[in-house]
Structure 1
Amino acid sequence: MKIRQTKDIHTVELPFKLKISFEKIFNLLQKYADEEFKEHPYHEPSKKIIEEVKNIPELIDGFSDESLLKKHEETIELLLDPLFPELLLENEIKAVSIPFTFTTFKFTSRFEKILQNAGEDYELKVRNFESDLMYIYACTLILANVHSYPVDLKRPFFFDIPDKTTNSIKKYRAAFNADFMDIFPTETAPKLSEDDIKILLDNFENIDVWKEKLPPKSYIFKGFGIMNLFDVTTDEIISEIRTNLLKREDNLVHTLQASFRKFFGIDDLTLGFSVFEIDANNLAYSRIKKEESLVLNYVKDISCNGVFCNYVLEKLFLNNETLAISDVEKYGQQTKKNNFYQRLKNMNIGSIILVPIQASVKGDLSIIEIASPRPFELNSINQNKLQDLIPLFKIAVDRFSEEHQNVLEATIQENYTSIHPTVKWRFYEAAEKFHRESFEKKEKAKVEDIIFSDVYPLYGQSDIKGSSIARNQAIKEDLTTQLSLAISVLLEACKSERLPIYKELRFRVDQYLSEVKRGLKAGDEISILDFLKREIYPVFNHIKEINNELKDLVDTYINRLDPSLHVVYEKRKAYEDSVTLLNDQLASFLDTKQEEAQQMFPHYFERYKTDGVEYNMYIGQSLTRDKKFDNLYLYNLRLWQLQIMCEMENVALKAAEQMDHKLRVASLILVHSNPLAIKFRMDEKQFDVDGAYNIRYEIIKKRIDKAHIKDTEERLTAPGKIAIVYSQDKDAQEYYKYIKYLQSKKLLGKVEKLEIEDLQGVSGLKALCVEVVYQKDFDIQKTITIDELIQEFK
């Protein structure tokens, strides 16, 4: 009987004295030797074994001398044979073991072969189970079996056993059968109280406490254990792959490749992958987002002619089915040596498995490539081993897609700005290209310019009429209040202390007050506030200390000041609150309606709050890659814009009911018939027209709202009217149709045709000025819907 001894049972420190005993199996055999079992097949063999064992009492009483295992080898073999059925010797990995020392004897045939392949120098060791932990583990058995206090420290035991025939390490999990053992205390074993057990429960890491409460060799372990091993090499490799997939490391493919080589048992297996953004309507538009591929090498076209044959294209990209090409040469013959065959051949690939993984992020598809240089090593049979791994790949692909999305978002935010959803796809393309070039380590990789050509602009504004005059008047009134308060303090100070300086300061404050009442000039407010801070406030600090009445006056002055701005800010605040209220209501209404307008056709939209609201819109084919543009959408958007301007006039009138300053707006639409190009300005983080020819449009936008009607002093824009500015008569004819429709809806009134004075660098502009019909019962929720507009337009 072969014995494998890892540690001498006398030198291993445990709370036990170890005694090898076969008493329990002897008692079982005695039962079958009884006459009542004389018909049982075990009866006669049991009688013979019992007669032989009776002459060797140490096998029953127990012994610690391992040499007796060899001395009584034949008898021990007879005792243990019932536990090792011959039919299972080639299948089970089983041995009798002395627990905690892993001294083993009596092996199944399969276990013996495993140990032979491991080599004579191999020592059976438990992985990651140091001696202190083994001592504590033994103590938990004592708590459970002797003191009836079960403590759960169940941890699987693993053995890493080399296999020299395959030059690999096999992984085994051990299961122990403790049916043939007993544990009981020696006479010197300390008695454990409930408090002692609680102390042990709170001191798992403190081996000294365990050795104090359960000293070495204070208990007897009598019997033997049976150890069964189970091959978990594949499970461990899957676990290893799972761990690696969840890691965030740059060299992931190389790490996974090592695991897959063990998984398939192919030492020179290679691994690659690509991530595609798939256009389901046209695979030729699909693009590689990230690649460490074996065969694709950054191809831009994944269509049949570009890379794959129809069969591969359909399996991977349409059906998302795993594909095994077990013989690349045969595949080449069947496909007339197409491009994909040539790529496989160039990479010395004899067989390959391609695994498509569809990410949760719409449009992302990963292709995992597993290749061998020899045909048939990878095939449709062993591809099924991947079934347990595909969910792990999907988790990793989803994580990659999310992280990749975050990287692109960060790139866009850093280099561009918050982008309107309609054009976001183009910024992603630019970010993808930048990261691909960076990954390829191309020199001078940079983010490209974003330009959209042949787009039609629409511009509109609802400008607060007379905002500059109203703001200046509010500033004037606040400064008048502040200077008057200062004068009242100085007047009382003169009565309290007849100091000439008070009169001089009051005189200077009077002068500033007179200047303010005559009218403010640029810089007046700053110089007045600076004077107060330098000359007046130190005096106020002085007079506060000499007279309580003066202190109250100064406190009254201070209380009228805004705590953060340190100026009287009453009229201005009322005005700014009115402007904010009007801007917020106009902007909110426009944003809500804009979301609806996107349903007609995706278009670019940007809005600004100034003294009122102004906005730009651009529509055209280049702004979208998913929908066909037609001029019908432009006409729809122009009608929508005019209708929205009518409704915004009503929103503004209704908002005035809640204002201290009854503000009105003047509305304007600028019509530009010719398409132009817009470019994203990196320095300003916004779109602007591109090209010298198109600059005229921007000039008009900046100057038109201050223009006058030709040969008059009357401003073009006025409350209660919408000015539609154009340069070509065909535009006027188009807008007459829209006006007529909205007149039928009682939204617009009379219309007149006007000529506009020549502006600097711009001449020949005309305008239609149309009256707004205000609705007495105007309700934002009951405005004309997009569907009604589209139906009317048809």
Structure 2
Amino acid sequence: MRIITDQYDNHELPFKIKISFEAIFDYLEESERHDLIQKFAHLPELREGFDDFELLKTYKKEIGQLLETLFPSPLQQNEIKSVSIPFNFTSFKFTKRFLQILEDAGDDYELKFRDFEESKTFIMACTFILNVCYGYNLDFKRPYFFDIPNKKTGQLRHYRTLFNGDFMTVKKLENAPDITEEDYLQLLDNFDDISLWKEKFPLNSYELKGFGIMNLFDVTQDEILTNLKDNLLAKNDNSFFNLQTNIAHLFGEPTIKFGFSTYDKDCNNPQSKDRYSYNSFILEQGTLVDCNNFFCDGIIQQLFIEHQLIAISDLETYGKNTGCNGFYEHLTKQGIKSVILVPFEMNSNTFGILELVSPKKHILNSVSANKLKDVIPSFSIAIQNYTEAYQNNLEAIIQKFYTSIHPTVNWRFYNAANTYLKHLEKDENPPIIEDIVFEDVIPLYGQIDIKGSSIARNNAIKQDLTYQLELAEDVMATAYEDQKLTIYNEHQFRIQQQLKNLKRSLKTGDEVSITNFLKRDIYPYFEHLKTINKILKDKVEFYEDKIDDKLQVVYDKRFKYEQSVTLINKKLANFIDSKQVEAQQMFPHYFERFKTDGIEFNMYIGQSLVQSKNYNELHLNNLRLWQLQIMCEMENIVHSIQHKLEHPLQVASLILVQSNSIAIKFRMDEKQFDVDGAYNIRYEIIKKRIDKAMIKNTKERLTKPGHIAIVYTTDKDADEYTKYIDFLHNKGYLTGTIELLELQDLQGISGLRALRVQVNYLQTTEKISFKDILEVLKN
């Protein structure tokens, strides 16, 4: 007979527990089973009761035989049942099925209730006494569940418990005070006041005698369906994407994956629509297919026309029977062997398919597909919620980032809209909105990048995690020193191992794994430690004080790093935005900026951008000089706020010079300007790769803290910018000599050169007048 002793640490109860099988003996007497009564006559304590739980081991054979009447052989493989001592949680005499479940769970599994509030055990026992001894009807019952893993299948199964207390009695002892109506009413209003309950029900003031029967019922499918529906109907950003585990559990097969794809409802050209599809296995992202050639006639009829679920249990057989169509070939390339397709109507124009796939034959079939019937209505609502939320997010992003038109080019959009309306008035059907293209513009690109931002961010994460682990180790070390329990020393060792791995290097996923380790293996001990004594309570509370309430991690260095990046970006963005107002007054030009780890910005200038002004190359020169001057000032801004940065950070600046004009086009689908034409793409490629450029024949990066690098291709550009540098050097913006550098070839790009010059920090710069600018441009 297997015995599982109390799995919880809190043993304070209002009654003494005496295990007794008197109810069994009474039944044997009624049944005139004198042979059995005589068999156990030499063990009167089995009937009279005992409080030494060690006797369960001593008499486990006899107790097992005595309880056979409650555990008939025909039900041993069917029922999940055991004898359990209430409020003590010691269990024994398990049915064979229960024993098999525990064996499959593995040696490290502890039979504990899910989300059980151990601190409420005393109050639960008191309400039991109030009901049994005083005739009240306090309903403190709630469903209790065991989550028991199966190591063989990899599944987590869920069991609901039902406790039978018919074999127990409760007796009031001499030291138990009487409970009056006034006491009862006072207790009703003070559920969480444990001291009051202990006053009314002193420790060991009652006697609980007998035993209980605990029955378990497998509710795994119900739990899975509930969780699946909750995930489906939850209106949050991640609910639709948290279904993978739920669906795998529903079918009892971890290899099952799900996706979702959308199609034109008329099925002429079904296509995966990026706007709504998620992880589709049928169609590649953005792929257009001819429905009649891609799917077989049966799928077209059953899925697209009749809107009926389809299950293919053996894709290989399906392929042979249908001529290995595109649908079969695409799934086969992905290693898929069985599939279920569930159709959904989304709106008048769009048709959706829920896709369940498995790399195993026959796992998904028409029988298992019936498991979806209970959740298909929830899926329909979830898909509707998902598409509405997705659409709302898209519109919000478009409104925020893409639809605002720069004032410089407003006129061009109004002209296009006016032309469109004129065509409508003439009933020209269908009118086409004209493309917005600006030819012959010169681009200017600049960036101020926070150097080593990735390294700084990782170092901040590493420092926070290290400090958190050190705090946790200190708690466990104090607990071991105070309590001398080896388990605390073992947990201290495990924390030290985490620290050792972390100090060696921070890998992707370490942050999540360490946080999960603490939550799963360490935190459960902390709640208990707080109840032992003040020293341990103070240690745990000190740890908790250092943890961010929302994130549940130490968030000190990371917070300081992010605050520092935010402060730099905010200062630079506000500054360049204010300066742009002045620059637009010199000559209108297109401007856009982006916040990254620092600031980057694009400018375009040229005659085609303006309607009522005459453009001259002088305006380009002026804007280039303005850009260089502003970069110097922004460098000084970052330098001036170093003392305000919680996390010290440096920046490096870069300017890309383009001499040849390009064309830019407003992309209607993307609602933003982009370069137009294959020739102009080279400029965009350089922009994306230049910040990683290295100086030729060295291992040194071009960008350098405290310096501005100016990348160019022609001698004319170098001569022009050398004049600007000399001018700004004279005005106190720059210092040192100019470095003339050749750059190593980038992928597909060669022949780039650069000027690099040092920014002058902490020096008073001379104000530059418009006359000064004209003078330098003239020269």
The alignment's TM-score, normalised by the length of structure 1, stands at: 0.48
Q: What's the TM-score, normalizing by structure 2?
A: 0.49
